[in-house]
Structure formats: C-alpha cells, structure tokens
Structure 1
Amino acid sequence: MTEVVFTVLDSSYEVVGKEPQVIIWGIAENGERVVLIDRSFRPYFYALLAPGADPKQVAQRIRALSRPKSPIIGVEDDKRKYFGRPRRVLRIRTVLPEAVREYRELVKNVDGVEDVLEADIRFAMRYLIDHDLFPFTWYRVEAEPLENKMGFRVDKVYLVKSRPEPLYGEALAPTKLPDLRILAFDIEVYSKQGSPRPERDPVIVIAVKTDDGDEVLFIAEGKDDRKPIREFVEYVKRYDPDIIVGYNNNHFDWPYLLRRARILGIKLDVTRRVGAEPTTSVHGHVSVPGRLNVDLYDYAEEMPEIKIKSLEEVAEYLGVMKKSERVIINWWEIPDYWDDPKKRPLLLQYARDDVRATYGLAEKILPFAIQLSYVTGLPLDQVGAMSVGFRLEWYLIRAAFKMKELVPNRVERPEETYRGAIVLEPLRGVHENIAVLDFSSMYPNIMIKYNVGPDTLVRPGEECGECGCWEAPEVKHRFRRCPPGFFKTVLERLLELRKRVRAEMKKYPPDSPEYRLLDERQKALKVLANASYGYMGWSGARWYCRECAEAVTAWGRHLIRTAINIARKLGLKVIYGDTDSLFVTYDPEKVEKFIKIIEEELGFEIKLEKVYKRVFFTEAKKRYAGLLEDGRIDIVGFEAVRGDWCELAKEVQTKVVEIVLKTSDVNKAVEYVRKIVKELEEGKVPIEKLVIWKTLSKRLEEYTTEAPHVVAAKRMLSAGYRVSPGDKIGYVIVKGGGRISQRAWPYFMVKDPSQIDVTYYVDHQIIPAALRILGYFGITEKKLKASATGQKTLFDFLAKKSK
C-alpha cells in the first residue's frame, strides 16, 4: 500500500471480467504519468416515487426485474429534493453501466414510480461527481501498485483503496499545474479535385510542434503518404503528450487521418491505451484515450469580435503571428506548390507557419480552457466542444449532488419565444467623449435578488407562503422570497467564489504565473454565471423554465429604464442602451455619482467599462463604431460578415471605418474607396480577394432555384469534382450576359483577372460595403464613383449638428 498524490486529467471505464472498473488518467506529484483503477464503484439511478406509494412494495417490484447478466444489487430508500420540494426516491444499483438503459425503461413502468431520474449521466462522469473529483486538481489516495499488464502507456498503474481526498481542501490559492507535455499538429492534403477526400487524396505533410521547442515535418514521398502517417504515430508515442492541440482537428485533421490510415492499412495507435485509436464521441469531439485532445477552433468560435475564423486571422488578432510575416497558401493551390520543386519549399514553410500559429494559439487559449475544465469539472477535451449551456449544466449537476437535489431529465420540447432585453433606439449621429457603463453580472444578480428559479416559481393556484413573493414587472410571474432557491444558492456561490478569486489575485504580481492562473479562473467563473439566465430559457435545458427567463428580462428592462431616468436627472445625456449597458456623455463627476446611486439605491453594481473619444451610430440598433482612448477601434454590427461578401469588401469596410474615426476626414475615406475601385478596374486585385464563399446546405438536386454557389458547384461536378452537402463553394462572377448566378464560376477555374466582372464587384460588393458607413455622412454611390468634389469633414458635420 502506498499514498499517491496525483492530479486528474481524464476518466473512462472498462468492463473486465463482468466487472466495471473506473480508469483515472493522471499525473503524479513526481511527474510520472499514472493510471488509477477503482473497481468498487457501481452504476445507479433513481426512481421517483409517486405520492402515497409504499417504498417497500415498490422496491420489491423493482428487485423482481433483476437480470442475471447485470443483476440489481441494491434498492435503497432515500430522501432527496426535486425542484426544491422533499421527495421519496429509491436508489437502484446494478453492475454493468450499459444495463442502466435497460432497467430505466423497465422501472418507468413499475406501479408506484412517477419517473426515473439520473439514468443518463455517464458512468465515468458519475464517478467524478460522486467523488468530488475535478480535473487539474491535486488529490491523495491510498493505492496498491499493480503490474501493468493491461496495455497502459504510463509509468505506473495503481488500484485505488481509499476515497481520494483533495490535497489543498477548497483553497483558492492557485494549485500548481503539473508540467504538461503539449503537442500541436496540422496536416496538409493534396487535392486537385475540390474538397479533399481521404479515399482519394493523400496527406502530404504532417507538421508537429511541441512544448520543448521541437518542430518536425513528416513529408510524403510523392503521393505516397504511408511514411508520414507512420512517422507521426511513432513520434506521438515517443513524445507521449498529455495534451494534443489542433485547429479544427475535431472536424478535419483527426477524421481525415483516421479514414486515410484505415484505407492504407495503418493503425493510428497514438493513444495511451495500446491498440486503441482516437474515436469521435457523442459530443462531437475526438477522444484520444489517456490524452486530452483540444480543438482550438471551438474557442475561436466563441470570440464574436473575430469575424473570420481562419487560423491566420485568429492568430493575427490574438497577437500570435502576423499575416504579413507568414506564408499563406490557399488550400486549392497546394497541389501546384507540391508538384513544382521550386515552390515546394514555400509549401513546407506554410506548414511550419500553420503549426507554429496553432501552438501559439494554444499558449493563449489553454490557460483559460484548463480553468474552465477545473471550474466545471468537465475533462479538457470535452469542455471546449460543449456549448456554454452544457458547461453550466454540468456545473449545476455537481451542485445538485452536493445539495441532495435530483437532476431533472432532459426533455425534448419546442422552442418558445419571449420578450428579450431592452435595446434603445440610438441617437443617430457622431458623438464625442462617450462613456460606456456596464452592469456587472446583471442577470445573475437579478436571479439572486428575486430568488428566481423553477423551484421558487409560484404557479397558478399555488400560494406564496409565509415569506411572500417577488412579482416581476410586466409579465407578473411570482417567485417565493424564501427559502433560497437552487439557482440563487448556486449563483451566490459562483459570484462569491469569483469575488474571492479576484481578491486572491491581488496578492500576486500581474506578471506572475499565479496571477495569470487566477485571472483565467475568474474569467471561467464569470462565463458560467452569465450563462445562467440564457440557460433557463434554452429548450434543451434540464432545468428549463420559460417563465423564469421571461421574468429576468422583465426585471432587466425595468432596471435599465430606472437607470436611464437617474442618468437624465443627473444631466447625463443617454446616447444608447443595450441589454446591460448604457452609453452616456462622459462627465467624470456625474458618472461617479450615477454609479454610487445605482449601487446604493438599486443594489446593483455598475462600472465604467470604456470611454470612446468618438463614436457614431446610424438609426439601426446594435450598429455603431467607436474610437477608444488608446487608439483602438470598436466596430459593432457594421461588418460585412455574410458569406456573400468577398474579402475585398470586408477590407474596404474596415478601412473606411478606421479612416473616418481616426482622421475625421470623410474625403480621405472616399478617396480610398475610389483608389480600390481603380485598382479593381485595372486588374491589380488578386482573384483570391474576390472569392465569395457559400456552403451547400443540401444536395444539388434538391435546390429549386439556381443560386450562384449552386451554379458554381454544378460546374465543379461537370469537371469531375465531387461536391456534397456541407462543402464550402468558392466562386467569382465573370463577365458576360444573363443573370449573375449564371456567371458564377469556381474560383480555381478562372485564371485570367480580365475575365472578372469588375462592374459587379464595384456595384454589389465594394460600394455597398463602403456606403454602410459613408452613407450616413451624405456620401452617395454617385459621389464614390465620381471625381473628388469637396465633401465636408467629420468636424464640419459635428459643428453643423451642434448648432
């Protein structure tokens, strides 16, 4: 017997000799990679008893359902809460996790059973929840060393002999993370016939970068990719990473490699379980047993400020690698670079730049992802692939277990709409010196203050009780003031924990690893707390409550209106308001007084988020652009982000905003647009910037109208390319007669820039993108196309407006 101190990476289970065993993948205090096996845990679920049912009689009926393959080994009478109300339940234990599904259906039909609960919580997660185990947290456990006969690629295997206990209790101080081995990878595929197909197209380069600085390219011999795939497998086993990262690797790199390796007769044996291969899980992520596979694209998807989610765009935005300092090759050009000996070195550099960018993103994103895993209790490879709602739900499931609250089943229900947050009509025009004030965690704090939750909702015919009720404005939904509801309790703990974490941060220098770890932790806590209101209104939620979500938004609207009246009484001009933010003229003294009144009289925290030197609004909500005091530009709602805008149109719009806000010179913006139009007319714009991308949402024969991307896809099909639903079709519009859609051609089939229909791009791409900004200042399409005429500057506009 020995004491093992370890941190949790992941959990899984196997059935060995008709007995389930939980497998905890971890790292020991001395750096050894370990597996801890627990053979004592058994799957279970609950039968919710109907009111008046006799627990003994119902238990007897349930025991009679026992099957030899996985017998029922326990039916225990218990007391739990269900939506806050005390209920009698029977806890039913069996042997094999797979048998729970069968027993669930049988128990449902037993006389005296109202419902069956918690039968859909996966066995390995059930173990983590019941033992209060969280990833990247240190525990000590009594264990017996085992001989590694089971094919684990680890240093030691142990049999668990006691309940794991946290090493640091519930300490807020940052627990030291183990030294994690990290490997980034990226593949390049040779495809001359449209979207790459593993049945046909080889993997010509696999690029790898590791945390010890190693960079390796595994390169095909001609079109034979057996060698790079085999070398990649051996390298992964030799380096033995704890975390493998990629960019869109869940949906491209791993599935492609797995399928390609299978076709070539190669086993992609890169896991810590001998003979096992990566598999796609129910959540859509690729599971690599014993290692944590992280798709960084999942996190990029959650960054609304990054409009184009390509690797190079995200890497530039996050300061990892500038586009101007790296090689960029379009995927359809890869065969040309591979086949040309003079160009191939550039392709190899492109592969290096891709994997360097991927690793650089991992350095930026993993600290937050690890803390999100730590806070939610979800393994790192799952937490990124899950929606925010599911992340919060797992946190709630853990909280429910501790509070002896039963977890509701997930029920399929139609989406229901309800009135949302208040969004004010903006004061159209250009404004200078504008403060943006944000309510801190407004919706969670409303839920706490008014005890909002499905367990405190007073439904028609019910009484408020001795404490009375809170009644939401407008919608009139009522909630009991006491006792504290499930959501109120959970949110108070979340917000209090975040407050304590932020206080703990002050003990460390901002550049210290402890400070950075705690900062990522408080961000993860904030994300969970802010998801709570939206979660209740999500039709897929276990704790779904439309009335709750409706009431929270009603209180939110009331709060914003009250805040607006206070601001106006103080002499602050309100320019705009959106959900939990107000834009007001910036008078430091009045703003400070406003904040004090909100906090002392209304009981909500509001803070000065930022100050714009200059900001302008059109008449549309959620559409503005502002110049911050440090020179950065915020653009909201203006961007041409739809798929039917080409890259050049997006560039033009962004540059126009920058010129107008930074120089206050509308003339300069007009001249810039004219310059771009001239370059387009002279054929100086690369065809790549004119490609319009659109996804095929169904099979070609199912389209009743011939949209441009459909016509382009049909032309690809005729040329021998395979196209399928889900493929992104890139096309350009060429000269000629007839409808625009009939002049859409796959971009790679158009080699001569003189074929491009310049008029289409000017009239339908460049000018409209620019006018979304410049139209406000009186600039017309005619003026953008004409020679310079003496338009007024932004300062002229401001001066005229103020008279």
Structure 2
Amino acid sequence: MTSLIDGFLLSRQWRDTKNGIELSFWLATDQDPVRLVIENERAVCFVRRDNLLKIPHTAHRKALALKDFDHADMDGLYFRQQRDLQAIRDHLAYDKSQLYESEVKPTERYLMERFITAPMTVQGQVIQRDSFREIRQPKLKPAKYTPSLRWISLDIETHDLRGQLYSIAVSTVDSHQIFMVKHPDQAPAKASELNITWCDDEQSAVEQSLSWIRNYDPDVIIGWNVIGFDLSFLKWKCQELKIPFALGRGGETATVLESQMAGQIAVARVPGRIVLDGIAALKSAFMFFDHYALGFVAQHILGQDKLIEEGNKLEEIRRQYLEDPVGLAAYNLQDCELVARIFEEKDLINFSLERARMTGLAIDRQGGSTAAFDNLYLPRLHRQGFVAPDIGSQSNVTSSPGGYVMDSTPGLYKNVLVLDFKSLYPSIIRTFKIDPMGLSVGLVSDETNTIPGFLNAQFSREQHILPELVTQLWQDRDAAKKVKNAPLSYAIKIIMNSFYGVLGSSGCRFFNPQLASSITRRGHEIIQQSATFIEQEGYSVIYGDTDSVFVHLHDDLDEPQSEAIGDELARKLNIFWQEQLQQRFKIESCLEIEFETHYLRFLMPTIRGSEAGSKKRYAGAIRQNGDTEMVFKGLETVRSDWTMLAKVFQQELYRRIFNDLPYADYVREISEQLYAGKFDDQLTYTKRLRRPLESYVSSQPPQVKAARKMKNPGRRIQYVMTLNGPEPLENLTAIPDYQHYQDKQLQPVADSILYFLDTSFERLTQRQMDVFGQ
C-alpha cells in the first residue's frame, strides 16, 4: 500500500554502486524516523556543445535546450558513478571554464531540482524496520512541515585530548545519565542522587553510552565543541578499542571528518541524526562573545558559573577523577545542562531548522552562504533555460567597492537622528532588477528594455530571478514577524543580507564585478543623495554608514519635536526616491527609509592622534522604555582587547558627561585609585595567539611574551602588564605597571570625549600626577 508521509530532512548521504549512485535521506516525522533510499541515479554536469571534450565510454552526452550566460548551446554529461565525473573534474582542474555545475553533489541536485529544502511529502511503499521505516524509490515534493525533535546534550571528560576516558554524560529534556569509568584504586563510590552507571573499563562505558543513545533515539545531538572534541575523541577511542562507532540510526556507523586547514572546523556525519555545536550555532546566528569557553558564555547568557573554573580545569578534573568521582560526574552533567539551557534560551535548534527550511543547507552546516544561494537559484535558472559556470571559472579581476562610509564630522552633540534604509542591498536588488541571468539577457537586449547598472552593466526589465526571490523572502519575513516567529524572521534576514556578499565573492559561481558594483555603487549614490536632500531641508548630516545617515538637529528641541522631525524626514525621503527613480529609470522604488533612533546625546570621536572624524566608532544616549541607555559602537567598551578598567571607566565617564553631571573629580579619583591598587582585578588583557607560539620569531607582542611564561599556554592568553613586563595571570611575580594603564587605558578613553570639552585627562589629573612624582 502506498503511503504519504510528511517529514523534515535530518541527514543526507550518497555512495557509488555498480548500478549507479545511491542516495540516502533520513527524515524526522510525527512517528518513527524514515529512511529514503533512491537507487540508480546519475551524476550530471554540463559542457558547451562546441567543446569536443573526450569523455569515458561509461558517460553519456546529450544535447539540451539550455544555454550558458554567453548564450552558447549546452550539452549534458551523465555518469553512472560520481567518481567518473570527479575524474574528469580532476583532469580539467587547470581550466575550470570547461565544465558547468560539476561540483554540485548528487544529493543536493536531487533535492534542489524538486525545490525541496528540508520539509517534504514522501510517497511510496513503507517497509517497517527495527525502530524506523524505510521507503525505496519514493516520490518527493516540497511541503510545509515543522517537526518536533528529540534531542540529547552530550559531554565527556577525559585525561587529555587522546588519553583515558573518565566519563560520558547525556541529558535530555527530562532525564540524564552519566557513564563513569571506575578507577582500579578507587574505593566503592558513595550513594548519589545522580544517575551514575559505574563501568569497569572504557569499553564498557563507550558501549553502554552508545547503546543508551540508540535506545533513546534522538534526532539532534548538541554539545560544546561537541564535534571537534567529544565526538572526535569517541571516534578515536572506538578505533583504539576496536568497536564500531555505531552512533547513527539503522546501525550505521558515524564518522568525524577532521579539519585539514587552520580555521576550518571538523564535520560529523551521523546518519539519521543532526549534530549541533553550541559555539558554531551561536556564531551562525551572529551572536558573538569575547571568547567561547562554556563558562564564559554561560555566565553571560544564563548568569551561572561552572563547577570547575577555567584556570585550573584540567588539573582539577584529574584530581576529582581520583578523589571525588561523584563530584566529577556532577561537573560532567552540568556541562550538558548548561549547553541545553543556552540552546533553549537562544532558541538555537529552531533557528537552525528555519535556516535549513529557507536555504536547503544541511541543518548542522554553518556558513555556506554560497551553497545556499546555489540551492535557491540554480533550479530557477534551469527553468529559464540557462546553466551556471563552475566555481572559480571566472577570470574577472575588477573589484567592487564595499559599503559607503561617509567622512564624519566629529563632535559632542545633542539631538542626533539615525535614518536607516530597511535592508538596503536587498532593496536595491529588487528595485534595479540586479540578477546574474538578468545581466546576461540585458547585455544583448535593446537599451529601452534594460535598467543600467555600473561597469557598463545592463539588467533586463523582464527576465530575472533574484528580485522575485528577494521579494518572496521579504514577504515571508513580514509574515514571520506577524506571527512572532523570531527564529524564522532572523534566518530570512541573514539569507537576504548574504546575497550581496555572495555575488561579490570569487568563491561564488556567479561572481561578476558588474553585479556587486551595481549594488554597492548604487548604495553609495543613494546615501550621498539622501544626505544632500536632508541638508537642503536645513539639517546637518554628520555621518553616513552603508545604509544609514546620522542627522544633527537643533540643540534646543525636545524629544517629541525631534522624533516628529525624524518621521517627517523619513516620509519625505521615501517620496523623493519614488519620484527620482520613476523619472530617471521608469522603475518603482522598493527603497524604504525608516526613522530608527533618536540620540539625546551623541559623540562622534576623532581618529586617535588626528582631528579627522572616525568611522564606525561612536557612542550615544537613547531613551529606552522610559530609561536612558548608553550605546557604544566600535569603542573600547565593546572591544575584547581592552581591559575591564577601561570599559568601566568609559561607561561611567560618558554617562556623566551625557547627563551633564560632574566628571572632573571622577577622572581624578579613578587615576588615584588605580595607583592605590584598587583596580588590580580589572587590569587583565585577553588576547589570542593567531598561530603556534613557536612561530613567533621576529615579532614578540605582549601576549606572546606572557605565553612563554606559562606552563601549558593555549590560544587564549590572559596577562597583566607588570613592572617586569607582560606576565600571565596564572603566574604573576611583580606588581602592575600602573603608569602603563594610566597612559594606555585611561587616558585614550578619557581624551576621546574630553577633547570636545576643551580639557584633557592630563590636565584633570596633573595635581594627582605631581603627588605621585610623575
């Protein structure tokens, strides 16, 4: 009997067989998970018809009603095995212009050509297996389905990166379990409220934990560096113990693909399950922290500390394993639960699902903007009769400018408005019909049927894909906002805003400076003309940045008057652009400017050591829910490489000045208290080593000097500048160099605002300096 099943894609694999390529997809459904098996598929790419490329006898060449962007006729090349296509790709690696779309994986092509991202309806004969259902040769179509996923949080404790396993902890929404390896010298453990399974050896702990996971059968495994450490270690330990790393569904083996290059992350392949790393998930959702140690992030998000602090973590874990294994089990479990709470607080699983739903990317794939663009664009391109080139085949060397950043007018102001273009680059794409295929058609069309771009670009008024795609995403985002689906709304925003970056990247198959420049240079024009319009209305534009203009009003206006001007300026600007674009190009404006922020007080500092205004650095005070709040952009308060002393000092000094409160005595008091040792706990610098410590030969920055004095330095170095130079926080031998902190932390922060009050840090602290013999 044929069944119809709605499901959500969890994992995808392919493999070559003698009869063709076999695709395997695992789905989450309302009942048991479902595995789809599709056999006898062919690998495919394209080649120009006039290219007399020699292909193996196992391949098939077929004329197609498709063209490339030069409007040349195309043939399809079909291969029984993916490895045969890969062999031709390798042979032609010296000239990537000969093949088209040859890098698209079989699983991705199969899904995208059916317009399937993640949710789908499956039709076929159901075969009941142990704990899952299987459908072979199913029919697939896109659907609107949202799964309810089962998850576990996983964490392990070990002696070191490739040593003894101590324990494996798993937690779920309503249960937990810890598998603890007994030390042979340990006395019988005391009773504990924790669910601890005491295992005689490592093999028992690994096998029992894998069995527990298979029985619980989660859709999602979450953790903290869970791929790079936990799963990587377990894979290695399974190999050492000669047992299968059977973490996948259907008894399938999992694997971890270790990163081969610096900066790349390891990838986990667990059939039927998603692996989401907390660090990567936060970064993917554009949530950034000074560093990503679990304790640090948990403190910032949850306000909770870990049971073992970072400083002596490894030594304490080893001690507890020998002396207090129940305490170590509690620590192990806490890590699982902290990760689960972070995922819940930031809704990271739902964000990852919505991102997959919108892009077709694997749920656990981070980044991938170019692949997401391919998933959305290629199937629509094919239906318009075109194919796309291979990545890296473009020979364009012309670069396109970035976002427009106006020279600022430094000063300390009252009543500054920010007018912001809503999603400026996507709006430009919609308005000016900027599109890879539209450019190809426009360049061979009559000018009356095109819209001019930059670098001699011409875009078809009628034939395009990207403007409609952006419009649909825009509508989807508005609908998500209406129903308060924050993860979906944010996922769509990220996707839309990535389109310009993709088109401007040489790693994109559609890379063309005419495309990117027609977006950015149009953005420059829009910001500059908007600033001119505002100036003609009688107001001063003191700064502009990519999609915003900063407008200084008169100092004596109150808040209602200022906000009314902001609303009126936005209204007039929208009318101005509607009229301008209709007159110049006979197109409808999709530009939408909004009155975003009213700064009661605003500082635009100078570039340090210069009288010129800075860029992308400012501070201000706004009214939020009846209270005054401080906003810092690009200044010391929001930078990870400044000390807590500088940050606290800046926030309070600016607060006083913005609120017309006394500040001179405060500056002197802070300086005096610094020399008195009152801020010794706020003098720590935190910086990262960008490469291995031994590679620093010619340059010796302070963090390197401090790291050389550490027993086991990692990448993240915490140090204090002392009278003996930089010393690691863990091994201080001298008192802090207070003069250094006065000159390098307090004075630059203070002078950036005191300059506009006709005074300086040195002038205010001169008396105090005299006292200390400076």
- Normalising by structure 2, we get a TM-score of 0.81
The 1-side partners of 2:476 and 2:632 are apart by 34
The 1-side partners of 2:749 and 2:243 are apart by 50
Q: Report whether the alignment pairs 1:39 with 2:39.
A: yes
Q: Which residue in the other structure is 1:592 paired with?
A: 567
The 1-side partners of 2:94 and 2:530 are apart by 54
Q: Which residue in the other structure is 1:797 paired with?
A: none
Alignment counterpart, residue 76 of structure 1, candidates 62, 68, 89: 62
The 2-side partners of 1:372 and 1:213 are apart by 27
Q: Which residue in the other structure is 2:488 paired with?
A: 521
Q: Is the 1:233–1:269 contact (alpha carbons within 8 Å) kept by the matching residues of 2? A: yes
Identify if the C-alpha distance between structure 1 residues 99 and 34 changes in structure 2 by more than 3 Å, giving closer, same or farther: same
Alignment counterpart, residue 543 of structure 1, candidates 510, 513, 537: 510
Q: Report whether the alignment pairs 1:532 with 2:520.
A: no
- Structure 1 unaligned regions, length at least 5: 168-174, 191-196, 507-514, 737-742, 790-803
Alignment counterpart, residue 692 of structure 1, candidates 659, 683, 686: 686
Q: Is the 2:6–2:145 contact (alpha carbons within 8 Å) kept by the matching residues of 1? A: no
Alignment counterpart, residue 149 of structure 2, candidates 145, 156, 180: 180
Q: Which residue in the other structure is 1:634 paired with?
A: 631
The 1-side partners of 2:381 and 2:108 are apart by 14
Identify if the C-alpha distance between structure 1 residues 490 and 143 changes in structure 2 by more than 3 Å, giving closer, same or farther: farther
Alignment counterpart, residue 546 of structure 2, candidates 554, 573, 579: 579
3-state secondary structure, aligned to 1:587: helix
Letter in 1 for 2:701: A
**Offset of residue 328 of structure 1:** 6.3
The 2-side partners of 1:785 and 1:258 are apart by 63
Identify if the C-alpha distance between structure 1 residues 435 and 109 changes in structure 2 by more than 3 Å, giving closer, same or farther: closer
Letter in 2 for 1:593: E
Q: Is the 2:435–2:459 contact (alpha carbons within 8 Å) kept by the matching residues of 1? A: no
Identify if the C-alpha distance between structure 1 residues 663 and 566 changes in structure 2 by more than 3 Å, giving closer, same or farther: same
**Offset of residue 663 of structure 1:** 7.6
Q: Which residue in the other structure is 1:510 paired with?
A: none
Q: Report whether the alignment pairs 1:90 with 2:75.
A: yes
Q: Is the 1:187–1:205 contact (alpha carbons within 8 Å) kept by the matching residues of 2? A: yes
The 2-side partners of 1:588 and 1:365 are apart by 36
Identify if the C-alpha distance between structure 1 residues 401 and 225 changes in structure 2 by more than 3 Å, giving closer, same or farther: farther
Letter in 1 for 2:700: E
The 2-side partners of 1:219 and 1:622 are apart by 51
Q: Report whether the alignment pairs 1:374 with 2:357.
A: yes
The 2-side partners of 1:199 and 1:44 are apart by 42
1:53-77 deviation per Cα after TM superposition (whole angstroms, max 9, x unaligned): 7xxxx59x64xx21xxxx22x4321
Q: Report whether the alignment pairs 1:335 with 2:312.
A: no
Letter in 2 for 1:424: M
Identify if the C-alpha distance between structure 1 residues 107 and 768 changes in structure 2 by more than 3 Å, giving closer, same or farther: closer
Letter in 2 for 1:115: Q
**Offset of residue 745 of structure 1:** 4.0
- Structure 2 unaligned regions, length at least 5: 185-200, 554-560, 578-588, 606-612
**Offset of residue 380 of structure 1:** 0.1
Identify if the C-alpha distance between structure 1 residues 537 and 697 changes in structure 2 by more than 3 Å, giving closer, same or farther: same
| Identity rate, percent | 20
Identify if the C-alpha distance between structure 1 residues 389 and 109 changes in structure 2 by more than 3 Å, giving closer, same or farther: closer
The 2-side partners of 1:651 and 1:228 are apart by 48
3-state secondary structure, aligned to 2:343: helix
3-state secondary structure, aligned to 1:380: coil
1:595-648 deviation per Cα after TM superposition (whole angstroms, max 9, x unaligned): 223323313211122333332221311111223321443211103676754455
Q: Is the 1:566–1:594 contact (alpha carbons within 8 Å) kept by the matching residues of 2? A: no
1:100-140 deviation per Cα after TM superposition (whole angstroms, max 9, x unaligned): 11244668999xx98221221111212211233221x1403
**Offset of residue 388 of structure 1:** 3.3
Alignment counterpart, residue 607 of structure 1, candidates 576, 590, 594: 594
1:392-425 deviation per Cα after TM superposition (whole angstroms, max 9, x unaligned): 3433234334444312211177976443332223
Letter in 2 for 1:600: I
Letter in 1 for 2:704: V
Q: Report whether the alignment pairs 1:443 with 2:425.
A: yes
Q: Which residue in the other structure is 1:512 paired with?
A: none
Letter in 2 for 1:637: G
**Offset of residue 182 of structure 1:** 1.3
Q: Which residue in the other structure is 2:106 paired with?
A: 123
Higher mean Cα deviation, 491-500 or 643-652? 643-652
The 2-side partners of 1:12 and 1:744 are apart by 51
- Within 5 Å, which residues of 2 pair with 1:5-154? 5-7=5-7, 8-16=9-17, 18-29=19-30, 31-50=31-50, 62=55, 65-66=56-57, 71-72=58-59, 74-83=60-69, 86-104=71-89, 115-135=98-118, 137-145=119-127, 148=129, 154=131
The 1-side partners of 2:754 and 2:241 are apart by 57
The 1-side partners of 2:619 and 2:326 are apart by 42
3-state secondary structure, aligned to 1:79: strand
Alignment counterpart, residue 287 of structure 1, candidates 269, 273, 292: 269
Identify if the C-alpha distance between structure 1 residues 125 and 154 changes in structure 2 by more than 3 Å, giving closer, same or farther: farther
Alignment counterpart, residue 408 of structure 1, candidates 369, 383, 389: 389
Q: Report whether the alignment pairs 1:703 with 2:710.
A: no
Q: Is the 2:562–2:598 contact (alpha carbons within 8 Å) kept by the matching residues of 1? A: no
The 2-side partners of 1:550 and 1:345 are apart by 61
The 1-side partners of 2:202 and 2:640 are apart by 34
Higher mean Cα deviation, 569-578 or 669-678? 669-678
Q: CA RMSD in A?
A: 3.9
The 1-side partners of 2:376 and 2:673 are apart by 52
Identify if the C-alpha distance between structure 1 residues 664 and 350 changes in structure 2 by more than 3 Å, giving closer, same or farther: farther
The 1-side partners of 2:673 and 2:398 are apart by 47
3-state secondary structure, aligned to 1:419: coil
1:658-690 deviation per Cα after TM superposition (whole angstroms, max 9, x unaligned): 5655685534753673476256x258528xx62
**Offset of residue 484 of structure 1:** 2.9
Alignment counterpart, residue 357 of structure 1, candidates 338, 342, 364: 338
The 2-side partners of 1:570 and 1:651 are apart by 40
Q: Is the 1:75–1:93 contact (alpha carbons within 8 Å) kept by the matching residues of 2? A: yes
**Offset of residue 438 of structure 1:** 1.2
3-state secondary structure, aligned to 1:685: helix
The 2-side partners of 1:242 and 1:321 are apart by 25
Identify if the C-alpha distance between structure 1 residues 641 and 265 changes in structure 2 by more than 3 Å, giving closer, same or farther: farther
3-state secondary structure, aligned to 2:491: helix
Identify if the C-alpha distance between structure 1 residues 386 and 696 changes in structure 2 by more than 3 Å, giving closer, same or farther: closer
Identify if the C-alpha distance between structure 1 residues 563 and 429 changes in structure 2 by more than 3 Å, giving closer, same or farther: same
Q: Which residue in the other structure is 1:208 paired with?
A: 170
Letter in 2 for 1:213: D
The 2-side partners of 1:186 and 1:785 are apart by 55
Letter in 2 for 1:79: A
Identify if the C-alpha distance between structure 1 residues 783 and 247 changes in structure 2 by more than 3 Å, giving closer, same or farther: farther
Q: Report whether the alignment pairs 1:426 with 2:408.
A: yes
**Offset of residue 180 of structure 1:** 0.3
Q: Is the 1:245–1:295 contact (alpha carbons within 8 Å) kept by the matching residues of 2? A: yes
Q: Which residue in the other structure is 2:536 paired with?
A: 569
Q: Which residue in the other structure is 1:388 paired with?
A: 369
The 2-side partners of 1:597 and 1:456 are apart by 31
Letter in 2 for 1:102: A
Identify if the C-alpha distance between structure 1 residues 569 and 216 changes in structure 2 by more than 3 Å, giving closer, same or farther: farther
- Within 5 Å, which residues of 2 pair with 1:647-666? 648-654=645-651, 656-657=653-654, 661=658, 664-666=661-663
Q: Is the 1:458–1:477 contact (alpha carbons within 8 Å) kept by the matching residues of 2? A: no
**Offset of residue 286 of structure 1:** 2.2
Q: Which residue in the other structure is 1:198 paired with?
A: 161
Q: Which residue in the other structure is 1:239 paired with?
A: 216
Q: Report whether the alignment pairs 1:502 with 2:481.
A: no
Q: Is the 2:441–2:459 contact (alpha carbons within 8 Å) kept by the matching residues of 1? A: no
Letter in 1 for 2:84: A
Identify if the C-alpha distance between structure 1 residues 185 and 677 changes in structure 2 by more than 3 Å, giving closer, same or farther: farther
**Offset of residue 157 of structure 1:** 1.7
**Offset of residue 155 of structure 1:** 1.6
3-state secondary structure, aligned to 1:379: coil
